[in-house]
Protein backbone atom coordinates (compact mmCIF):
# COMPACT_ATOMS: atom_id res chain seq x y z
CA UNK A 1 0.00 0.00 0.00
CA UNK A 2 2.82 2.33 0.92
CA UNK A 3 4.63 1.52 -2.32
CA UNK A 4 1.47 2.21 -4.33
CA UNK A 5 1.03 5.59 -2.63
CA UNK A 6 4.66 6.44 -3.43
CA UNK A 7 4.15 5.53 -7.10
CA UNK A 8 1.01 7.67 -7.30
CA UNK A 9 2.84 10.57 -5.68
CA UNK A 10 5.68 10.24 -8.18
CA UNK A 11 3.25 10.20 -11.09
CA UNK A 12 1.54 13.33 -9.77
CA UNK A 13 4.94 15.01 -9.34
CA UNK A 14 6.02 14.10 -12.88
CA UNK A 15 2.72 15.41 -14.23
CA UNK A 16 3.14 18.67 -12.32
CA UNK A 17 6.69 19.04 -13.66
CA UNK A 18 5.44 18.45 -17.23
CA UNK A 19 2.74 21.10 -16.82
CA UNK A 20 5.25 23.63 -15.48
CA UNK A 21 7.69 22.84 -18.29
CA UNK A 22 4.96 23.15 -20.96
CA UNK A 23 4.00 26.58 -19.65
CA UNK A 24 7.57 27.90 -19.50
CA UNK A 25 8.72 30.45 -22.11
CA UNK A 26 11.80 28.34 -22.90
CA UNK A 27 9.69 25.27 -23.68
CA UNK A 28 7.30 27.29 -25.85
CA UNK A 29 10.19 28.78 -27.81
CA UNK A 30 11.65 25.30 -28.35
CA UNK A 31 8.30 24.00 -29.60
CA UNK A 32 7.96 26.99 -31.92
CA UNK A 33 11.45 26.34 -33.32
CA UNK A 34 10.57 22.68 -33.96
CA UNK A 35 7.39 23.70 -35.81
CA UNK A 36 9.33 26.22 -37.92
CA UNK A 37 11.89 23.57 -38.85
CA UNK A 38 9.11 21.16 -39.80
CA UNK A 39 7.52 23.81 -42.02
CA UNK A 40 10.82 24.61 -43.70
CA UNK A 41 11.38 20.92 -44.40
CA UNK A 42 7.85 20.30 -45.68
CA UNK A 43 7.64 23.45 -47.78
CA UNK A 44 10.96 23.69 -49.53
CA UNK A 45 10.53 25.38 -52.92
CA UNK A 46 10.14 22.81 -55.67
CA UNK A 47 11.50 23.38 -59.18
CA UNK A 48 7.91 23.74 -60.43
CA UNK A 49 7.31 26.57 -57.95
CA UNK A 50 10.53 28.32 -59.00
CA UNK A 51 9.54 28.04 -62.67
CA UNK A 52 6.14 29.56 -61.88
CA UNK A 53 7.83 32.53 -60.15
CA UNK A 54 10.26 33.02 -63.03
CA UNK A 55 7.38 33.07 -65.49
CA UNK A 56 5.87 36.13 -63.79
CA UNK A 57 9.15 37.87 -63.00
CA UNK A 58 9.23 41.43 -64.25
CA UNK A 59 12.14 43.50 -65.56
CA UNK A 60 12.11 45.86 -62.59
CA UNK A 61 15.07 47.94 -63.78
CA UNK A 62 13.22 48.80 -66.99
CA UNK A 63 10.23 49.88 -64.91
CA UNK A 64 12.44 52.12 -62.75
CA UNK A 65 14.08 53.71 -65.80
CA UNK A 66 10.72 54.32 -67.45
CA UNK A 67 8.97 56.00 -64.51
CA UNK A 68 11.84 57.94 -62.90
CA UNK A 69 11.47 61.56 -64.05
CA UNK A 70 14.42 63.39 -65.56
CA UNK A 71 15.88 66.21 -63.50
CA UNK A 72 14.57 69.42 -65.05
CA UNK A 73 15.64 72.92 -63.90
CA UNK A 74 12.28 74.34 -65.01
CA UNK A 75 10.32 72.29 -62.49
CA UNK A 76 9.47 73.71 -59.08
CA UNK A 77 9.53 72.26 -55.57
CA UNK A 78 6.96 69.55 -55.06
CA UNK A 79 6.63 68.38 -58.65
CA UNK A 80 8.96 65.42 -58.04
CA UNK A 81 6.84 64.22 -55.14
CA UNK A 82 5.21 65.47 -51.96
CA UNK A 83 4.80 62.49 -49.61
CA UNK A 84 3.08 62.30 -46.21
CA UNK A 85 3.59 59.61 -43.58
CA UNK A 86 0.83 59.16 -41.00
CA UNK A 87 2.35 57.37 -38.03
CA UNK A 88 4.52 57.76 -34.97
CA UNK A 89 3.49 57.56 -31.33
CA UNK A 90 5.16 57.46 -27.90
CA UNK A 91 6.61 53.98 -28.38
CA UNK A 92 7.51 54.12 -32.07
CA UNK A 93 9.39 57.03 -33.59
CA UNK A 94 11.91 55.28 -35.86
CA UNK A 95 9.47 53.74 -38.33
CA UNK A 96 7.84 56.98 -39.59
CA UNK A 97 11.28 58.57 -39.85
CA UNK A 98 12.62 55.67 -41.94
CA UNK A 99 9.64 55.84 -44.32
CA UNK A 100 9.74 59.63 -44.69
CA UNK A 101 13.52 59.99 -45.09
CA UNK A 102 13.59 57.13 -47.62
CA UNK A 103 11.16 59.07 -49.79
CA UNK A 104 13.54 62.03 -49.77
CA UNK A 105 16.62 59.91 -50.44
CA UNK A 106 15.00 58.43 -53.54
CA UNK A 107 14.10 61.84 -54.91
CA UNK A 108 10.83 63.21 -53.51
CA UNK A 109 10.98 66.97 -52.99
CA UNK A 110 9.04 67.09 -49.72
CA UNK A 111 8.28 64.61 -46.98
CA UNK A 112 5.86 65.16 -44.09
CA UNK A 113 5.16 63.19 -40.92
CA UNK A 114 1.83 63.48 -39.07
CA UNK A 115 2.38 62.00 -35.62
CA UNK A 116 1.38 62.35 -31.97
CA UNK A 117 2.60 65.28 -29.91
CA UNK A 118 4.84 63.01 -27.84
CA UNK A 119 6.57 61.61 -30.92
CA UNK A 120 7.07 64.90 -32.78
CA UNK A 121 10.12 66.31 -30.92
CA UNK A 122 11.92 62.98 -31.24
CA UNK A 123 11.23 62.66 -34.98
CA UNK A 124 12.20 66.31 -35.53
CA UNK A 125 15.52 65.62 -33.82
CA UNK A 126 16.36 62.85 -36.30
CA UNK A 127 16.46 65.19 -39.29
CA UNK A 128 15.69 68.82 -40.17
CA UNK A 129 14.72 67.64 -43.66
CA UNK A 130 11.30 66.39 -42.56
CA UNK A 131 8.20 68.52 -42.03
CA UNK A 132 6.72 67.18 -38.78
CA UNK A 133 3.13 67.87 -37.72
CA UNK A 134 2.35 67.02 -34.05
CA UNK A 135 -1.41 66.76 -34.54
CA UNK A 136 -2.44 63.20 -33.62
CA UNK A 137 -3.68 62.28 -30.13
CA UNK A 138 -3.87 59.07 -28.13
CA UNK A 139 -6.64 57.98 -25.75
CA UNK A 140 -4.73 58.74 -22.56
CA UNK A 141 -4.65 62.39 -23.59
CA UNK A 142 -8.32 62.66 -24.53
CA UNK A 143 -11.39 62.75 -22.31
CA UNK A 144 -14.55 61.01 -23.48
CA UNK A 145 -16.32 64.36 -23.78
CA UNK A 146 -13.56 65.81 -25.99
CA UNK A 147 -13.17 63.01 -28.52
CA UNK A 148 -15.47 64.44 -31.18
CA UNK A 149 -14.00 67.95 -31.06
CA UNK A 150 -10.41 66.67 -31.10
CA UNK A 151 -11.16 64.38 -34.05
CA UNK A 152 -12.56 67.38 -35.93
CA UNK A 153 -9.43 69.40 -35.17
CA UNK A 154 -7.13 66.62 -36.38
CA UNK A 155 -9.09 66.23 -39.62
CA UNK A 156 -9.13 69.98 -40.21
CA UNK A 157 -5.36 70.22 -39.68
CA UNK A 158 -4.52 67.38 -42.06
CA UNK A 159 -7.12 68.48 -44.61
CA UNK A 160 -5.27 71.80 -44.98
CA UNK A 161 -2.42 69.83 -46.55
CA UNK A 162 -4.21 66.89 -48.14
CA UNK A 163 -4.57 68.26 -51.67
CA UNK A 164 -0.82 68.88 -51.89
CA UNK A 165 0.16 65.27 -51.34
CA UNK A 166 0.94 62.83 -54.13
CA UNK A 167 0.71 59.86 -51.80
CA UNK A 168 0.02 58.95 -48.16
CA UNK A 169 1.89 56.27 -46.22
CA UNK A 170 -0.30 55.05 -43.38
CA UNK A 171 0.92 52.90 -40.52
CA UNK A 172 4.66 53.10 -39.74
CA UNK A 173 4.95 53.44 -35.96
CA UNK A 174 1.24 54.18 -35.66
CA UNK A 175 0.55 51.90 -32.69
CA UNK A 176 -2.86 50.49 -31.87
CA UNK A 177 -4.45 53.09 -29.64
CA UNK A 178 -8.23 52.96 -30.36
CA UNK A 179 -8.80 56.71 -30.56
CA UNK A 180 -5.74 57.23 -32.74
CA UNK A 181 -6.88 54.48 -35.12
CA UNK A 182 -10.35 56.04 -35.34
CA UNK A 183 -8.82 59.37 -36.36
CA UNK A 184 -6.61 57.71 -38.97
CA UNK A 185 -9.63 55.86 -40.36
CA UNK A 186 -11.30 59.23 -40.99
CA UNK A 187 -8.13 60.57 -42.61
CA UNK A 188 -8.09 57.60 -44.99
CA UNK A 189 -11.71 58.25 -45.96
CA UNK A 190 -10.85 61.87 -46.73
CA UNK A 191 -7.86 60.75 -48.84
CA UNK A 192 -10.13 58.47 -50.84
CA UNK A 193 -12.52 61.34 -51.53
CA UNK A 194 -9.56 63.29 -52.95
CA UNK A 195 -8.30 60.28 -54.98
CA UNK A 196 -4.93 60.29 -53.22
CA UNK A 197 -2.97 57.02 -53.34
CA UNK A 198 -2.48 55.32 -49.96
CA UNK A 199 0.33 52.91 -49.10
CA UNK A 200 -0.56 50.92 -45.98
CA UNK A 201 2.03 49.20 -43.82
CA UNK A 202 2.66 48.17 -40.20
CA UNK A 203 -0.16 49.01 -37.82
CA UNK A 204 -2.08 50.45 -40.75
CA UNK A 205 -2.51 46.84 -41.90
CA UNK A 206 -3.87 45.92 -38.48
CA UNK A 207 -6.41 48.72 -38.89
CA UNK A 208 -7.38 47.74 -42.43
CA UNK A 209 -7.62 44.00 -41.69
CA UNK A 210 -10.21 44.80 -39.03
CA UNK A 211 -12.04 47.29 -41.27
CA UNK A 212 -11.69 46.28 -44.91
CA UNK A 213 -14.20 48.89 -46.07
CA UNK A 214 -11.44 51.49 -45.62
CA UNK A 215 -9.77 50.17 -48.78
CA UNK A 216 -12.34 47.91 -50.41
CA UNK A 217 -12.84 48.89 -54.05
CA UNK A 218 -10.16 51.61 -53.94
CA UNK A 219 -7.70 50.98 -56.82
CA UNK A 220 -5.21 53.54 -55.46
CA UNK A 221 -4.65 51.59 -52.22
CA UNK A 222 -1.50 49.50 -51.72
CA UNK A 223 -1.08 46.96 -48.92
CA UNK A 224 2.46 45.80 -48.06
CA UNK A 225 2.06 42.86 -45.64
CA UNK A 226 4.86 40.77 -44.19
CA UNK A 227 4.39 37.05 -43.58
CA UNK A 228 2.25 37.39 -40.43
CA UNK A 229 0.21 40.34 -41.71
CA UNK A 230 -0.44 38.44 -44.94
CA UNK A 231 -1.57 35.38 -43.00
CA UNK A 232 -4.13 37.48 -41.09
CA UNK A 233 -5.40 39.04 -44.33
CA UNK A 234 -5.85 35.64 -45.99
CA UNK A 235 -7.68 34.25 -42.97
CA UNK A 236 -9.96 37.30 -42.78
CA UNK A 237 -10.74 37.72 -46.47
CA UNK A 238 -10.49 34.21 -47.94
CA UNK A 239 -11.29 32.25 -44.75
CA UNK A 240 -8.37 29.94 -45.46
CA UNK A 241 -4.70 29.45 -44.68
CA UNK A 242 -1.75 30.72 -46.70
CA UNK A 243 -1.07 28.53 -49.73
CA UNK A 244 2.63 28.69 -50.60
CA UNK A 245 2.27 26.02 -53.29
CA UNK A 246 0.12 28.31 -55.44
CA UNK A 247 1.08 31.67 -53.94
CA UNK A 248 0.51 33.80 -57.09
CA UNK A 249 -3.04 32.53 -57.61
CA UNK A 250 -3.95 33.02 -53.96
CA UNK A 251 -2.57 36.56 -54.01
CA UNK A 252 -4.56 37.29 -57.17
CA UNK A 253 -7.73 36.02 -55.48
CA UNK A 254 -7.04 38.05 -52.35
CA UNK A 255 -6.54 41.33 -54.23
CA UNK A 256 -9.63 40.69 -56.34
CA UNK A 257 -11.75 39.83 -53.30
CA UNK A 258 -10.82 43.09 -51.55
CA UNK A 259 -11.87 44.97 -54.65
CA UNK A 260 -8.83 45.60 -56.82
CA UNK A 261 -6.42 47.00 -54.27
CA UNK A 262 -2.76 46.27 -54.98
CA UNK A 263 -0.99 43.92 -52.58
CA UNK A 264 2.77 43.62 -52.29
CA UNK A 265 3.42 40.35 -50.47
CA UNK A 266 6.90 40.55 -48.97
CA UNK A 267 9.04 37.39 -48.97
CA UNK A 268 12.05 35.72 -50.57
CA UNK A 269 10.49 36.85 -53.82
CA UNK A 270 8.15 39.83 -53.53
CA UNK A 271 4.82 39.21 -55.25
CA UNK A 272 2.61 42.04 -56.50
CA UNK A 273 -1.02 41.78 -57.62
CA UNK A 274 -3.90 44.14 -58.30
CA UNK A 275 -6.45 41.38 -58.88
CA UNK A 276 -5.83 41.34 -62.64
CA UNK A 277 -2.16 40.40 -62.88
CA UNK A 278 0.66 39.03 -60.73
CA UNK A 279 4.29 40.11 -60.94
CA UNK A 280 7.33 38.95 -58.98
CA UNK A 281 10.56 40.73 -58.03
CA UNK A 282 13.33 38.21 -57.46
CA UNK A 283 16.39 40.47 -57.20
CA UNK A 284 18.68 39.27 -54.44
CA UNK A 285 18.74 41.61 -51.46
CA UNK A 286 20.54 40.87 -48.22
CA UNK A 287 20.70 38.00 -45.72
CA UNK A 288 20.73 40.61 -42.93
CA UNK A 289 17.15 41.01 -41.71
CA UNK A 290 17.40 44.15 -39.60
CA UNK A 291 14.14 45.80 -38.61
CA UNK A 292 12.94 48.85 -40.51
CA UNK A 293 13.26 47.57 -44.07
CA UNK A 294 9.48 47.47 -44.42
CA UNK A 295 9.40 51.18 -43.57
CA UNK A 296 11.97 51.90 -46.29
CA UNK A 297 9.79 49.92 -48.70
CA UNK A 298 6.62 51.86 -47.89
CA UNK A 299 8.36 55.22 -48.42
CA UNK A 300 9.97 53.98 -51.64
CA UNK A 301 6.70 52.62 -53.05
CA UNK A 302 5.00 55.96 -52.30
CA UNK A 303 7.54 57.90 -54.38
CA UNK A 304 7.61 55.49 -57.31
CA UNK A 305 3.82 55.24 -57.31
CA UNK A 306 3.66 59.03 -57.61
CA UNK A 307 6.19 59.01 -60.44
CA UNK A 308 4.42 56.15 -62.23
CA UNK A 309 1.14 58.06 -62.07
CA UNK A 310 2.79 61.14 -63.59
CA UNK A 311 4.48 59.03 -66.27
CA UNK A 312 1.27 57.31 -67.33
CA UNK A 313 -0.66 60.59 -67.47
CA UNK A 314 2.11 62.23 -69.51
CA UNK A 315 2.78 59.27 -71.81
CA UNK A 316 -0.91 58.42 -72.25
CA UNK A 317 -1.16 55.51 -74.69
CA UNK A 318 2.40 55.95 -76.00
CA UNK A 319 4.01 54.35 -72.93
CA UNK A 320 5.96 51.19 -73.77
CA UNK A 321 5.21 49.67 -70.37
CA UNK A 322 3.01 46.58 -70.59
CA UNK A 323 1.44 47.41 -67.22
CA UNK A 324 -0.44 50.69 -66.92
CA UNK A 325 -1.42 50.45 -63.26
CA UNK A 326 0.70 52.96 -61.28
CA UNK A 327 0.24 51.09 -58.01
CA UNK A 328 1.70 47.90 -59.48
CA UNK A 329 4.57 49.82 -61.11
CA UNK A 330 5.26 51.63 -57.84
CA UNK A 331 5.41 48.34 -55.94
CA UNK A 332 7.76 46.76 -58.48
CA UNK A 333 10.13 49.73 -58.44
CA UNK A 334 10.00 50.14 -54.65
CA UNK A 335 10.72 46.46 -54.07
CA UNK A 336 13.63 46.41 -56.51
CA UNK A 337 15.30 49.56 -55.20
CA UNK A 338 15.11 48.36 -51.59
CA UNK A 339 16.62 45.00 -52.52
CA UNK A 340 19.46 46.64 -54.44
CA UNK A 341 20.17 49.09 -51.62
CA UNK A 342 20.13 46.27 -49.04
CA UNK A 343 22.58 44.28 -51.17
CA UNK A 344 24.90 47.28 -51.54
CA UNK A 345 24.75 48.05 -47.80
CA UNK A 346 25.53 44.43 -46.91
CA UNK A 347 28.59 44.44 -49.15
CA UNK A 348 29.93 47.32 -47.08
CA UNK A 349 28.76 46.49 -43.57
CA UNK A 350 28.05 42.73 -43.49
CA UNK A 351 26.52 41.68 -40.16
CA UNK A 352 26.59 45.20 -38.76
CA UNK A 353 24.19 46.46 -41.46
CA UNK A 354 21.32 48.47 -39.99
CA UNK A 355 18.41 50.31 -41.57
CA UNK A 356 20.26 53.62 -41.80
CA UNK A 357 22.99 51.96 -43.88
CA UNK A 358 20.40 50.74 -46.39
CA UNK A 359 18.80 54.18 -46.58
CA UNK A 360 22.19 55.71 -47.39
CA UNK A 361 22.48 53.30 -50.35
CA UNK A 362 19.11 54.18 -51.91
CA UNK A 363 20.47 57.08 -53.93
CA UNK A 364 23.39 55.09 -55.35
CA UNK A 365 21.09 52.19 -56.21
CA UNK A 366 18.79 54.46 -58.20
CA UNK A 367 21.74 56.21 -59.84
CA UNK A 368 23.14 52.87 -61.01
CA UNK A 369 19.84 52.08 -62.77
CA UNK A 370 18.69 55.51 -63.89
CA UNK A 371 21.57 58.02 -63.91
CA UNK A 372 20.59 61.59 -63.10
CA UNK A 373 22.61 62.92 -66.02
Q: In order of start, what are the domains of the chain with their CATH numbers?
A: 60-70+166-367 (3.40.1190.20)
pLDDT for 108 beyond 70: yes
pLDDT for 251-260, tens place per residue? 999 999 999 9
Residue positions in the annotated binding site for (6S)-NADPHX? Answer: 173, 226-232, 295
Residue positions in the annotated binding site for ATP? Answer: 266-270, 285-294
pLDDT for 142 beyond 90: no
Per-residue 3-state assignment (H helix, E strand, C coil) for the chain: CHHHHHHHHHHHHHHHHHHHHHHCHHHHHHHHHHHHHHHHHHCCCCHHHHHHHHHCECCHHHHHHHHCCCCCCCCCCCCCCEEEEECCCCCCCHHHHHHHHHHHHHCCCEEEEEEECCCHHHHHHHCCCCEEEEEECCHHHCCHHHHHHHHHHHHHHHHHHHCCCCEEEECCCCCCCHHHHHHHHHHHHHHHHCCCCEEECCHHHHHHHCCHHHCCCCCCEEECCCHHHHHHHHHHHCCCCCCCCCHHHHHHHHHHHHCCCEEEECCCCEEEECCCCEEEECCCCCCCCCCCHHHHHHHHHHHHHHHHHHHHHHHHHHCCCCCCCHHHHHHHHHHHHHHHHHHHHHHHHHHHCCHHHHHHCHHHHHHHHCCCC
Residue positions in the annotated binding site? Answer: 173, 226-232, 266-270, 285-295
pLDDT for 321-372, tens place per residue? 889 999 999 999 999 999 999 999 999 999 999 999 999 999 999 999 999 9
Query: What's the whole-number average pLDDT of the chain?
Result: 88
Q: Would you state the pLDDT for residue 34? A: 43
pLDDT for 246-285, tens place per residue? 999 999 999 999 999 999 999 999 999 999 999 999 999 9
pLDDT for 173-195, tens place per residue? 999 999 999 999 999 999 999 99
Amino acid sequence: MLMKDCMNSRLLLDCAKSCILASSPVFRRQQFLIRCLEVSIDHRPHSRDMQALRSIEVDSESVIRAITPALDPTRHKGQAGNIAVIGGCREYTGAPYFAAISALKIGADLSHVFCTKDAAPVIKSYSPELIVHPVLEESYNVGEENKRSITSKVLAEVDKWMERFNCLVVGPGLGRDPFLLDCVSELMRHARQSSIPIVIDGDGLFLVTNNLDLVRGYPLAVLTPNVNEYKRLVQKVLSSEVNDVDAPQQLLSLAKKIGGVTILRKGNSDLVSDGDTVKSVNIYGSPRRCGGQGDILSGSVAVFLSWARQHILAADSNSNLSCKNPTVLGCIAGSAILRKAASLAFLKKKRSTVTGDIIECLGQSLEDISPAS
